[in-house]
Amino acid sequence: MRLAELSRRSGVATATIKFYLREGLLPAGRRVSSTQAEYDEEHLRRLQLVRALIQVGGISVAAAREVLTAVDDSSVDQVSRMGTAVAALPQPLPGPAADDPGAATADRVAREVQERLGWRVVPENPAHQALVSAISALLRLGYPCDGAALLPYGELAGRLAEHELSLVEEFAAPTTQLEAAVALTVLYEPVLLSLRRLAQAEQATRRLRDGIPPR
Amino acid sequence: MRLAELSRRSGVATATIKFYLREGLLPAGRRVSSTQAEYDEEHLRRLQLVRALIQVGGISVAAAREVLTAVDDSSVDQVSRMGTAVAALPQPLPGPAADDPGAATADRVAREVQERLGWRVVPENPAHQALVSAISALLRLGYPCDGAALLPYGELAGRLAEHELSLVEEFAAPTTQLEAAVALTVLYEPVLLSLRRLAQAEQATRRLRDGIPPR
């Protein structure tokens, strides 16, 4: 298809598509004349992923490029590609500051919850570092936060991950699976957070208005 | 306690505390001389909440002021105060654009999942609008997203909310409960998101490396 059709089918303006092409977020089309190029379904899928990352995920062009480079890196195995691509997504929090006095305790709690769940601890995963920061903040503010308090969150996260990896496996090609893993990670974060807010409102209303005792 | 002690106990620099006082995020201390004021445990707690909102939650001073105004508004009942305070927190996504052609379908899906869960649907809750935006993006990108696909996320969010409201109820005073509700909403978001990323990495490693079949 030509650029105009790619724009129509994706809902992305041609000027934006040209910007993504220049920035290397979208591979060049197949040249059919000095002024025209031909695009295929793969370009359409990649364009939708770029839009998800940038428009929904609020991810910078530089971070999106890093994610896509990992997705396309066929020199390493599928697990490493997925790990690198997802790790290149912006984290919920930066890792703990070098002078954070609570980081060591928070790191112990982060390890404890993962060990209790039977997960391998990979301290260099930026998500582990983000978890350490979050735990350190909770402890500093005097909120209870030990391995036991985090266990329900970890168990639920584990069930979501099983569900999500099953969705990803429904895509046939390795690269399409990686694209889906990245897209679902980004797109389901606001789903999860907004449902949690709605659930809290529902619970608060039930408990405080109707006097339903806590279970 | 004096300003210096409030700073020492909270770990917040005196210049930052003075800024929060000027911005109305922290109530003034009790004047004891023309140059000195006395602060109490309530100031310390409020200061820790402000720090959680701004430093961990990345919330603007204006948004933090709006949240705290709702927490302190004793003219309305506890449920309304909690609802207003949590709704004033930044949302995971803005609501759908007025010209979003997928918003109506997404709104139906958002209502369906909440109805299936037995939750009251409150369309004016900004979290409902954020959910509609997220669903609209998923559908636009061609990812499966109907009431059934969202149900596991809603069920898990519901269980988290039960757990969290129980934590909040352990605080005795109504204002302290509201402060805890706001703080836990903000501080547990990065916990949940980072655990989800770690769970995905664990699942991906298990499935792709060890060949464990999907359950």
Give the model confidence (pLDDT) of B23-41 as tens digits: 999 999 999 988 889 999 8
Say what the pLDDT of residue B18 is.
Answer: 94
Q: Which residues of A133-170 are buried (b: 16+ CB within 10 A; e: fewer)?
A: bbbbbbbbbebebebebbeebbbbbbebbbbbbebbee
Instruction: Pick left, alpha or beta for residue A212 (phi over 0 → left; psi -120 to 50 → alpha; otherwise beta).
Output: beta
CA dist., res. B183 & res. B54, Å (int): 11
Q: Is the pLDDT of residue A52 over 80?
A: yes
ipTM reported for the complex surpasses 0.90: no
Which residue from B137, B201, B205 is facing A187, i.e. has the nearest CB?
Answer: B137
- Rg, chain A, Cα only: 21
Across the range A94-123, mean pLDDT stands at 92
Gap from B65 CA to chain A (nearest CA, Å)? 19
Q: How many residues does chain A have?
A: 215
Q: Bigger pLDDT: B143 or A65?
A: A65
pLDDT-derived band at A214, boundaries 50, 70, 90: very low
Min distance B68 CA to chain A CA atoms (Å):
17
Give me the helix-helix angle, B174-204 and A174-204, nearest 10°: 160
Supply the pLDDT for residue B91.
85
Residue A121 confidence (pLDDT): 94
Secondary structure of B108-134 as H, E, C letters = HHHHHHHHHCCCCCCCCCHHHHHHHHH
Q: How far is B74 from chain A (nearest CA, A)?
A: 15
pLDDT band (50, 70, 90) for residue B214: very low
- B92 close to A193: Cβ distance less than 8 angstroms: yes
CB-CB neighbors (< 8 A) of A141 in chain B: 48-49, 51-52, 183, 187
Q: Tokens at residue A143, please?
A: 């909120």
Structural domains in chain A, sorted by start? 1-89 (1.10.1660.10)
Rounded distance between C-alpha atoms, residue B123 and residue A111, angstroms: 40
CA distances from B93 to A25, A188, B108, B114, B168 (A): 23, 11, 18, 18, 25
Angle, nearest 10°, between helix axes B61-72 and B78-87?
A: 180
Residues with Cβ within 8 Å of residue A172, at least 6 apart in sequence: none
Distance from CA of B181 to the nearest CA of A (A): 9
Q: According to the model, what pLDDT value does residue B210 have?
A: 65
For helices A3-10 and A14-22, angle between their N-to-C axes, nearest 10 degrees: 110
CA distance A197 to chain B (A): 6
Mutate to test the interface with A, among B91, B120, B164, B196 (most CBs of A within 10 A): B196
Find the CB nearest A200 among B11, B51, B86: B86
> Would the CB atoms of B194 and A162 count as touching at under 8 Å?
no
Angle at CA of residue B87, ends B82 and B90, nearest 5°:
135
Which chain B residues touch A55 with a CB distance below 8 Å?
137
A143, pLDDT greater than 50: yes
- Confidence (pLDDT) at A114: 96
pLDDT grade for A98, boundaries at 50, 70 and 90: confident
**Contact across the interface for B153 and A195, Cβ inside 8 Å:** yes
Q: What is the pLDDT of residue A215?
A: 41
The radius of gyration of chain B's CA atoms, rounded to the nearest angstrom, is 21
Query: pLDDT-based confidence at A78, cuts 50/70/90?
Result: confident
Q: What confidence tier does B215 reach under pLDDT thresholds 50, 70, 90?
A: very low
CB contact under 8 A, B195 and A141: no
Sequence letter at residue B169: E
* Single-letter amino acid, residue B147: G
Mean pLDDT of A40-47: 90
The 3-class SS string of chain A reads CCHHHHHHHHCCCHHHHHHHHHCCCCCCCEECCCCCEECCHHHHHHHHHHHHHHHHCCCCHHHHHHHHHHHHCCCCCHHHHHHHHHHCCCCCCCCCCCCCCCHHHHHHHHHHHHHHCCCCCCCCCHHHHHHHHHHHHHHHCCCCCCHHHHHHHHHHHHHHHHHHHHHHHCCCCHHHHHHHHHHHHHHHHHHHHHHHHHHHHHHHHHHHHHCCCCC
Q: CB neighbours (10 Å) of residue B113? A: 26
Phi, psi dihedral angles at B31 (to 5 degrees):
-60, 125
Mean pLDDT of B195-199: 92
Higher local confidence (pLDDT), B135 or A165: B135
Q: What is the pLDDT of residue B43?
A: 92
Distance CA A131, CA B161 (A): 20
Closest chain A C-alpha to B14 CA, distance in angstroms = 18
Which of B198, B206, B207 should be substituted to probe chain A, the one whose Cβ sees the most A Cβ atoms within 10 Å? B198
A·B CB contacts under 8 A: 266
pLDDT of residue B211: 58
* pLDDT for residue A170: 82
Is A127 within 8 Å of B194 when comparing Cβ atoms? yes
Burial of A48 (0-12, 13-18, 19+ CB in 10 A): buried
Mean pLDDT (chain B) is 87
Q: Which residue of A has its CA nearest to B213?
A: A166
| B79 against B198, higher pLDDT | B198
pLDDT of residue B130: 94
Over residues B97-127, the pLDDT tens digits come to 888 888 999 999 999 999 999 999 999 999 9
pLDDT band for position A211 (50/70/90)? low
Lowest mean pLDDT of A130-144, B167-181, B191-205, name the range: B167-181
Strand partners, A30: A38
Residue of A nearest to B162 (CA): A203
Asked whether residue A135 carries a pLDDT value surpassing 60, the answer given is yes
Q: Do A198 and B127 touch (CB under 8 A)?
A: yes
The pLDDT score that the predictor gives to residue B196 is: 92
